C-alpha cells in the first residue's frame, strides 16, 4: 500500500511552546490529508481536513488558532500545536487519501507537554 511518513514519532515539550508535526505522502500525491487525535484506548477523532493550496476545514470544537494546519504541497501537510499545554498531550495521527476513498495513515506522534 501507499506510504505515509509522519515525524516526529514522539516529542516532549514544555508548556507554552509550539510543536510542529509533519506528514508526508512518499509515493503518491495527496490533495487531501486528515489530522486525527487519539486518546488512550479510544477511537480516532477527526480534527481537521487539510486540502492542498487552501485553508483547512476544522471539525466542531477544534480551535483553528490552536492547531495550525498547512498543506503547501501535494505531499506535505503540517500540524502545529501552538502554545501547548498538558491537556494537549495526546497521540496525533495524519492520513492521506490515495485514490478516491482509500486512506493511509502515518505512524503517529505521541506529544507529551510538561
Partner 1 sequence: GENVEQHPSTLSVQEGDSAVIKCTYSDSASNYFPWYKQELGKGPQLIIDIRSNVGEKKDQRIAVTLNKTAKHFSLHITETQPEDSAVYFCAASSPDDYKLSFGAGTTVTVRA
Is the Cβ of residue 46 or residue 72 nearer to partner 1 in the bound state? 46
**50, exposed or middle or buried, with CB in 10 Å at 0-12, 13-18, 19+?**
buried
76, three cell numbers? 506535505
Beta bridge partners of 5: 24
Q: Segment 52-111, which members bind partner 1 (CB under 8 A)?
A: 93, 95, 97, 100-108, 110
DSSP annotation of 31 reads: S
Is the Cβ of residue 35 or residue 67 nearer to partner 1 in the bound state? 35
Residue numbers of the site for partner 1 (CB under 8 A)? Answer: 1, 4, 6, 32, 34, 41-44, 46, 49, 93, 95, 97, 100-108, 110
Amino acid at each position: 500500500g501507499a506510504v505515509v511518513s509522519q515525524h516526529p514519532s514522539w516529542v516532549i515539550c514544555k508548556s507554552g511552546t509550539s510543536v510542529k508535526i509533519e506528514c508526508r505522502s512518499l509515493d503518491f500525491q495527496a490533495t487531501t490529508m486528515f489530522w486525527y487525535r487519539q486518546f488512550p484506548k479510544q477511537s480516532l477523532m477527526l480534527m481537521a481536513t487539510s486540502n492542498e493550496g487552501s485553508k483547512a476545514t476544522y471539525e466542531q470544537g477544534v480551535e483553528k488558532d490552536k492547531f495550525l494546519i498547512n498543506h503547501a504541497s501535494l505531499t506535505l501537510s503540517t500540524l502545529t500545536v501552538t502554545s501547548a499545554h498538558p491537556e494537549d498531550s495526546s497521540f496525533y495521527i495524519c492520513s492521506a487519501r490515495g485514490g478516491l476513498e482509500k486512506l493511509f495513515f502515518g505512524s503517529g506522534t505521541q506529544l507529551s507537554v510538561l
